[in-house]
Structure 1
């Protein structure tokens, strides 16, 4: 199939792009990499009357360190995030996750902002943003506003972005001393969307767990961070019983929707397994293999 007819715009400035969004509102869609939007348009799942191409807005691209934050522009390609020395050094979970997105050609075109705006429950970058509690900055003609990732993702493929707004940048906290990160996913074939993916942040000090964030994608309509169920496991030694407790807590906390194609219990067990693998590897890196 081919997309429905639309009017094409290619603004030369952010101001011009925001003016077009204010003028056309819900009838307009932004396009950068087009890795999600173009297939949806071809299948008539999306039929914008106006397509606003922001690829000329180079000021919206790039990875920067600002104090204790890594700031990434909305137009930054996944491959640039994956290969960024700044991201790898100061926020390795972001670069790890970006390196697993699709195939090389997709990473060369797809953008961070596009992935967040599309908000596919199985996508990598929404999960990382939620796990790290990233701050997402939106711009409109009225100015800018900043949202926590927990408020940004509202439902499957639904975000808090208003029709006259665009994502301009995303801010991730830098890695703290004693922290380690791991990203794992399971898919049927390399490059496919994950059936389940997990992002883990582990902090230890003097042989005890000081921080534990577990984010899960693909199991629920929006990525989730399972903090509350893991609070009682902080301050403890990460031995084998501790690992089993984490796995069971994650298993019981998830409530995936039942599906004939992928049963809910399969997603729960798969998530439990991926979290356990991630934690074992992180503890081994810290020479704290559980006994």
Structure 2
């Protein structure tokens, strides 16, 4: 670890960290990223763990999506992790790609940034000088941009347990299974609270608190629509128009909340 941090400190803006490479390498292939140096951290010990405690699931920088997805203790603590990870690309990519790497990549169409934000999670960054923990609300700073600075290594992410008695769900629509979502929604429903995080609806993951539209048993569709519309800012592209994305947001929010609420009722 110390050696990796020393190398990163010396390279500054000229270096990029390589872990799973499932986001970085395609960007390099498309000439959207051209670092002078890649710092491969795959053999740095102690970064591939998944740890569960009373408060959260802690995921190391080298923990592959598939490891987190299939970790029974992580599922018992935070079922939303597995539900979202199963939407990430394909098994081949999940076998190599890392969950923390997806967070640092900060793609607005990616699932894991939305999950981190929805669960009030955080990312721990280390450099030669210090270690700091950045909450999800401050970590995602723009499309493909995060709070990690030159010389820093994201060593772990913390996904906090939802409140007791909560249910969760993650739903999305993509052109093909494994493609980036045209729209995706994660939901956590508690006894008196409803929160959702949306994918592909802005410059990063978008969090909406729908508690004011929830009476403890059902969501007021009109009130929820207003809250969602006031928060999201979808853009059109070759895959979907902004209006279609907005329509999907309303449909998927209702579906995700309904599925999460059903889990609460079954508990």
Pairwise TM-score range, normalised by the shorter structure: over 0.9
Q: 2:198 aligns to what? A: 216
1:70 Cα deviation after fit = 1.3
Matched, 1:238 2:210: no
Secondary structure, in 3 states, of the residue corresponding to 1:45?
Answer: coil
CA–CA distance in structure 2, aligned partners of residues 55 and 118 of structure 1: 17
Matched, 1:283 2:244: no
Secondary structure, in 3 states, of the residue corresponding to 2:151?
Answer: coil
Alignment of 1:100-249 (within 5 A): 100-204=87-191, 210-227=192-209, 230-234=210-214, 236-239=215-218, 242-249=220-227
CA–CA distance in structure 1, aligned partners of residues 162 and 263 of structure 2: 16
Gaps of at least 5 residues in structure 1 are: 1-13, 205-209
Q: Deviations over 1:248-273 (max 9, x none)?
A: 43234322234465221111110110
1:94 Cα deviation after fit = 1.3
Number of residues of Structure 1 aligned to a counterpart in Structure 2: 266
1:71 Cα deviation after fit = 0.8
Q: Deviations over 1:64-95 (max 9, x none)?
A: 12331211111110001111111110011112
The structure that has the greater radius of gyration is 1
Q: 1:98 aligns to what? A: 85
CA–CA distance in structure 2, aligned partners of residues 232 and 42 of structure 1: 46
Q: 1:72 aligns to what? A: 59
Tell me the TM-score normalized by structure 1: 0.86
Q: 1:20 to 1:254 in 2, by over 3 A?
A: same
CA–CA distance in structure 2, aligned partners of residues 266 and 36 of structure 1: 26
1:190 Cα deviation after fit = 0.7
- Structure scoring higher RCO (CA < 8 A, sep ≥ 6) equals 2
After the TM superposition, list the runs of 4 or more consecutive aligned residues in structure 1 that deviate by more than 4 angstroms: 258-261
Q: 1:207 aligns to what? A: none
Q: Deviations over 1:162-187 (max 9, x none)?
A: 01101011111123321001111110
8 Å Cα contact 2:126/2:152 also seen in 1: yes
Tell me the TM-score normalized by structure 2: 0.94
8 Å Cα contact 1:78/1:108 also seen in 2: yes
CA–CA distance in structure 2, aligned partners of residues 232 and 200 of structure 1: 15
Greater shift, 80-89 or 241-250, is seen at: 241-250
8 Å Cα contact 2:195/2:211 also seen in 1: no
Gaps of at least 5 residues in structure 2 are: none
8 Å Cα contact 1:96/1:183 also seen in 2: yes
